[in-house]
Amino acid sequence: MIGVFDSGVGGLSVVRHLLERFNADIIYLGDTARLPYGTKSAQTVVKYSLQNAEFLAEKGVDAIVVACNTASSVALDALKQAFDLPVFGVIEPAAKKAAEYGNVCVIGTESTISSNAYKKAIKKININTHVTQLACPLFVPLVESGWIDNEITYQVAQRYIGHVQCDAMILGCTHYPLLKRVLKSIKPVVMIDSGEALAEALQSHKDLFAGSGRLECYTTDAHRKFAEMGRIFLGSAFNGVKHIDLTSEGGDG
């Protein structure tokens, strides 16, 4: 059984890849009560990530997947130190794919970008790859507004990435694959979906991930939006969500 966490519902795009590829048994935690992580300090994101992982560890998972790019960027080492479990993040696999190209653009939240996590990981593999990094803070609220393919979203994307020269682009946030069509119409380059890259990379741990496709979702906020978005990300594989509280007695302190 695998534990997956994200700041919200976006990590279900990673879950989709894990279900498709491994039929994994998954416990998913979306920390919607404290999202977004992408505009918060590294210190705060580390703290929330440890609390999320603690919840999953108590559920008895065999490994933890950090679906959130921001948490993968800033909290992976802390998680590996704190838990005696394999911990996988979305940065390394996407960086590995990107390092095959000469000129890469990474798009993500403010925290992911300012952490330089993707850039460092790419440079470690191929020092010659040129890396441009761009924070795109409006993409998540645009996707969550359902403005996925409209004129305004196109203009925002144009403003963010229109000027960039690159051969490949890392979609460094779980929400961005939903904008792939808009992004590709502006930059017709290779799009690297970090969740998909992670699922591919986990092929070498496939025994750990084999299961019967059971999915159990938890959210830290009771908002109906999680279920709505869950169906967008997962379709009929989404089977409801339970509410848990990490911010009172015990869990959060």
Distance CA 244, CA 51 (A): 12
CB of 91 to a second copy, least distance (A): 21
Single out the residue of 58, 152, 162, 184 in contact with a second copy (rule: CB under 8 A).
Answer: 152
Single out the residue of 127, 151, 236, 242 in contact with a second copy (rule: CB under 8 A).
Answer: 151
Distance CA 17, CA 24 (A): 10
Distance CA 17, CA 111 (A): 24
Single out the residue of 118, 133, 221, 230 in contact with a second copy (rule: CB under 8 A).
Answer: 221
Would you say 7 or 129 has its CB closer to a second copy? 7
* Residues sharing a CB contact under 8 Å with residue 185, sequence separation 6 or more, in sequence order: 154
Would you say 9 or 131 has its CB closer to a second copy? 9
Residue 166 catalytic?
no
> Treating both helix axes as pointing N-terminal to C-terminal, what angle do 69-82 and 42-58 enclose, rounded to 10 degrees?
60
CB atoms within 10 A of CB 250: 8
Would you say 144 or 193 has its CB closer to a second copy? 144
Contact present, 63 and 87 (Cβ < 8 Å):
yes
86 binds a second copy (CB under 8 A): no
Q: Can you state the percent helix, strand and coil of the chain, rounding each to 5?
A: 50, 20, 35
CB of 74 to a second copy, least distance (A): 12
Single out the residue of 200, 201, 223, 244 in contact with a second copy (rule: CB under 8 A).
Answer: 223
User: Which of 108, 111, 58, 49 lies closest to 80, judged by CA?
Assistant: 49
User: Which of 52, 101, 42 lies closest to 75, judged by CA?
Assistant: 42
Would you say 1 or 42 has its CB closer to a second copy? 42
Q: Which of 136, 166, 173, 217 is catalytic?
A: 173
- Report the site for a second copy in 229-248 (rule: CB under 8 A): 247-248
97 binds a second copy (CB under 8 A): no
Q: Which residue has the tokens 């989709």?
A: 16
Give me the 10-49 binding string for a second copy, x by CB under 8 A, dash otherwise.
Answer: ----------------------xxx----xxx-xx--xx-
60 binds a second copy (CB under 8 A): no
- Using CA atoms, how far residue 190 sits from 173, 180, 187, 199, in Å, is 16, 10, 9, 18
Residue 68 catalytic?
yes
Residues with catalytic roles: 68, 173
User: Could you list the residues that contact a second copy (CB under 8 A)?
Assistant: 32-34, 39-41, 43-44, 47-48, 137-138, 141-142, 144-145, 147, 151-152, 155-156, 159, 220-223, 225, 247-253
